[in-house]
Amino acid sequence: MKRYEKFADDIAELIRSGVLGPGQRVPSVRYASQTYGVSPSTVFQAYYLLERRGLIRARPRSGYFVNTHAPSPFSEPVVSEHVHESTEVDVSELVFSVLDSIKDPTTVPFGSAFPSPMLFPLPRLARSLASASREMDPRLVVTDMSPGNPQLRRQIALRYMVGGLMLPMEELLITNGALEALNLCLQAVTEPGDLVAIEAPAFYACLQVLERLKLKAVEIPVHPRDGIDLNALAKSLERYPIKACWTMTSFQNPMGATLPEAKKTGIGGTAAHPSSAADRRRCVRRVVLRATRAKAGQSVRHRRAGDALRLVCQKPRAGLTASAGWRPGALRKRSSG
């Protein structure tokens, strides 16, 4: 959390607790800067944020004041209980009924994540599409087929290289959105009947994917501020033969939590940590094999962003960590040897 966000939260708490009442003047920028030991620009940013939240408003040459009708605070969502069992997923009928209700022009779908089509700049989009169609090379219809446009894959490989990850463009596969990529990842590491750790509550499309692939869900509680419960995840990984973990670490849907980088790393470590002696032996053999190939002059590439020398042991019960903001890993054919 940035300093101005922390300061804004402190002022917001004073408003919610009644210390700063409706119409009361909040500390001036100069006073707040001196009292709290922050720069004036930090105070300004915090007050701008509080204005956007509807908690305060500026009066010309008078300062900032608590809104007379400040929005009442919403109660924090209750964290789901950790259910120690797997569950078969059956949600498609419910999901389709909710999505179908969005089509009704007489209703305002406040429960939908889709913006109103009336907000789209359709005339400008139509002109742009027409212009692009006139200039399009007909051969692109073929070159854009799987595994994807070569120029796009090359640019993606270059971006990974700038970030410290060497990834040949031959190992990149362009998909029709993130959900297709996650579908492919799950199909690569699971079979019908396998267990997948998911968040509770979960993104509805995640439930649909599990239902379609005939996978069972192991629910892991999610806190609206702290995100996924790592202790509950670790217990489930110890108890069940979980083959994959599907997590959304940035702006989790529907709770909205964003995990700090340390906790994102913790998810990967929890899912990849070998718990049994057999798992540890498999991990050691894999590392020795990689080291032997490196000595023989063969290429050894690290597939995960982060520390350059980090080695990841993927245990059978946690073959995949599919997480928003984290690349699940390059999919490629491997020889049986």
Tens digit of pLDDT for each residue in 270-307? 766 644 444 443 433 333 333 333 333 333 333 333 33
The two tokens of residue 66 are 């608590």
According to DSSP, residue 145 is labeled S
Q: Which domains are assigned to the chain? A: 3-66 (1.10.10.10), 176-324 (3.40.640.10)
DSSP string, 32-84: HHHHHT--HHHHHHHHHHHHHTTSEEEETTTEEEE-TTPPPPPPPPPPPP---
| Cβ proximity of 11 and 65 under 8 Å | no
- In this prediction the pTM is 0.55
* Positions in the chain short of pLDDT 70: 70-86, 111, 271-337
Buried/exposed 272-282: b ≥16 CB within 10 Å, e otherwise: bbbeeeebeeb
Query: CA–CA distance from 123 to each of 118, 128, 299 (Å)?
Result: 11, 9, 51
In 3-state terms the chain splits into helix, strand, coil percentages (rounded to 5) of 45, 10, 45
Q: How many CB atoms are closer than 10 A to CB 11? A: 24
According to DSSP, residue 326 is labeled B
| Cβ proximity of 331 and 188 under 8 Å | yes
15-18 long-range Cβ contacts below 8 angstroms, 24+ apart: 15/55, 15/56, 15/66, 15/70, 16/73
Question: What pLDDT does residue 307 have?
Answer: 31
